Structure formats: structure tokens, C-alpha cells
Amino acid sequence: MQLVSINPATARRIASHRGHSAAEVERAVARAHAAHLAWRHVPPAIRARRLRTIGRGLLARRDELAALATAEMGKPVRQARAEVEKSAAACEFYARHGPDFLRDEIPPGAPENTRVTYEPLGVVLAIMPWNFPFWQVIRAAIPALMGGNAFLLKHAPNVPGCARAVEKAFAGADLPPGLFQALLIDPKPVPALLADPRVSAVTLTGSTAAGRRVAALAGAAMKPGVFELGGSDPALLLADADLPRAAETCALARLLNSGQSCICAKRFIVVRSARREFEKLFVARIAARRVGDPADSATDIGPLARADLRDKLQAQVAASVRRGARVLLGGAPLPGPGFFYAPTVLTDVRPGMPAYDEELFGPVAAIIPVRDEADAIRAANDTAYGLAATIFTRSQTRARKIVPQLAAGSVFVNDFARSDPALPFGGVKQSGHGRELGASGLRAFLNAKTVWGA
């Protein structure tokens, strides 16, 4: 089996990587299990120092890694550099705070001479996507390793070079051999891996459909999992919003990673009194972004990662227009080589349209007109997803009232949605379950063991 890297800006093949055989996968699992048995006894303070080394190594190779992500999945290189920097920051965060998260606890009201101690589960299988090829891996792997687990990475097949590069970063950190390994495989071996008693847990970031399949396998094997899945996140534009600021923030959010981000706002729910002004400002901000060569630091929007993703996006836009959506900007693939799609704004988006009901993974924004604040809250929750939500209002009182009414894993006020190493991250409903990052992310793959009398 060969995994092929295609440059999405040119549609040209740039590299081919030999996949791992079944025998090689078996040896990898055995090495990971043995590495965990050694690593679990390493004191947390020493684990922290070694994980800090990984972050420093990432920073030292920032430009090299950023160029690789740009070549393999088309991320604008300025954003790719920021992704590597954020990954290094996560290493530093867990090196600094991880030992404290692992300390024994005495819960309030617990009986005398009891405590809760945190112990690793074993080998964690990670199924990771291509859109943030370093950050998605680091934010799962670093807390898992900090907790004493081993980590097997099954990365997306279109970023094999990034998978190898991440593995190299861990190899230079004086870890037990096999503690972190990248498996260059297609999805076929995943069921057997999840059924293997040496694999203790799974984490997946990807589509809801993939999450359902893997969660079913994990459930059948009685193994825990963390699933960060799709999103069609709402941004609520209320009557008292600072519309120029909101339009700029929404444009930044929607076009991050060329629109290929689970957590970025996709549905812009605008109350009647703000609609015309927001549409004018928002279209101008979107149109001002530069589309082009992702290797150019001046580029804001690069290509979609694969041809099939562009085809799907165009089908969703076309179906929405047929059902009554209006195109304010863009609305079609761009001519020429590569998998570029024009930055697009649709309005008059309503239920029954793909732009309302489905996740749009690309530079397409859907404006949903509503009557008032109550209608905006209803529309925001009228989705199968629940990853993040954003509220634009000048009133903190209004924002605090609305926050608990939104079904989402996180809510941002007058800002764009994003993750931070210190805060738990994940979704509800069809956006998945479990949490990454923060103390929650570290403890996701630990056994919270009650100890009584010792």
C-alpha cells in the first residue's frame, strides 16, 4: 500500500510513502505496550521535562513543518507557522501544569483516609484528520503521554509526510522506544486495533460519520473514547452588536484554514434590524481576503485539501441555491490548477438547505435571517451539531443570559471560537463527546482510582 501526497494548490503528486504491513502494525502495538509499561513508572516531573523538549523541537523546525503542511494539505503558510507555535505552547502548558493535574486528590466530604489517584490506561489509538495535521495530534498526544500512556497515531492518508514529521519530533525527546508511533495505514486495520487488548482507548477527530463507526467499535470492546466531530457552528448577530467589529471577526473565523475548521463559525444568524448592514460589511470583509498560493505569506485563503472536498462543497452550494438561497459573493470553484473555491456568502438560508442543515467545509458562509433574539437562539440550536457558538452583543448582561440557552461545548462573546491548552474542548450532540485539553484532556485516559485506608 502506498500513501500519496498531492499538493492541493497544483493537483500534482509530491511524494509517495510506503504503508505499514500487518506484521509491522503488530510489532508497533507490541512496542507501544512495552513502552507504556516502562513510561507509566517515570515520575510526572521527568515526563514533563521530556515533553517540554518536544515543544522546543517543534519551534526549532517551525518553518520546515509549516512548509510541509502547506504542501500536503494547502494551509496558508502564515497559519501553518501559527499552528506549529500553538502545538509547542501545548507542550509547554502540560510540562508546566501536568504534574499538578496528576496529584492525588481528597474530594470535599470524602471519608477519612481516602484519596483519588490517577493512573494511565495504556495504549491510546488516535485517529486524526488532515486539517490541522500537527495541532490535532499534539493536543491529544501530549496530555495522553503526560498521563503515562503510549500513543499510536493513525493519521489522515493525505498527510503522511506530516505524520512522519510528528513522529520524528517525539523521537528526539528521550522517550521509551515505541511510546509514540505513526502508523501509515488505511482504515481497514482499525477494527482489529480497537479489539486488541493491548489498546486501551481511542481518540478521534473527524467527521460525525467516522466518529459513529469508531465509537461503535470502541463500545463493543468496552473501551473509552474521546470524539471531536463535525460542527455547523452559529454566530448570533444581535440588534445591539458592534457590526463592523462583528463582520471582521466573522470573516476571520469563517476563512480560517480556508474554511476547513470544525470549530469556526459557519451559520451567521442575523436579527432583522441588523441584517442589511451586516451583509454589506461582511461581504466586503470576505471579498478583501486574498486567495492564492498558500506558500506565499500574503495569502489568506488557499485551496481545499482534496478535489472531492471541493466537489462536495459545490454540490452543497448549488443545492442550497436551487432551494432559494441567494449568492452575495462567489458561489463556484475557481478556474485553473489546484482545488480552489471562491470565497462565498449565501443569504436567505433556511431549513431544508444543505447550507443550513449540513457542515460546509470550505470558504462558504451562510447568513440566516431571523426576527429577533429569541428566534436567533432557536435557530442556533436548530442543528444536529453542538461544538461552539458565538454571540455578538454590546451587553454582557444579555450575553450571560443567552450562554446557558445554547447547546454547545463552548460559547464565545464578541470573539471567534478557538481552543486553548488550558481549557476543555469538545462538543455535544453530533459534535461528539469527551473533552480534550486542560485538566479534562489529561484525565480523559486515566483511571481515577479510589484508595481507601492507605
Which residue numbers are catalytic? 228, 262
- The pairing of beta strand 344-347 with beta strand 326-329: antiparallel
Distance CA 402, CA 405 (A): 5
All 3 cell numbers of residue 55?
515543544
The residues facing 448 across adjacent strands are: 118
C-beta neighbour count of 183 within 10 angstroms: 22
Please list, in sequence order, all residues whose beta carbon lies within 8 angstroms of the beta carbon of residue 110, skipping any fewer than 6 positions away. Answer: none
Q: Characterise 254 by phi-psi region: left (phi > 0), alpha (psi -120 to 50), beta (else).
A: alpha
Q: Measuring CA to CA, which residue among 140, 20, 134 is closest to residue 73?
A: 134
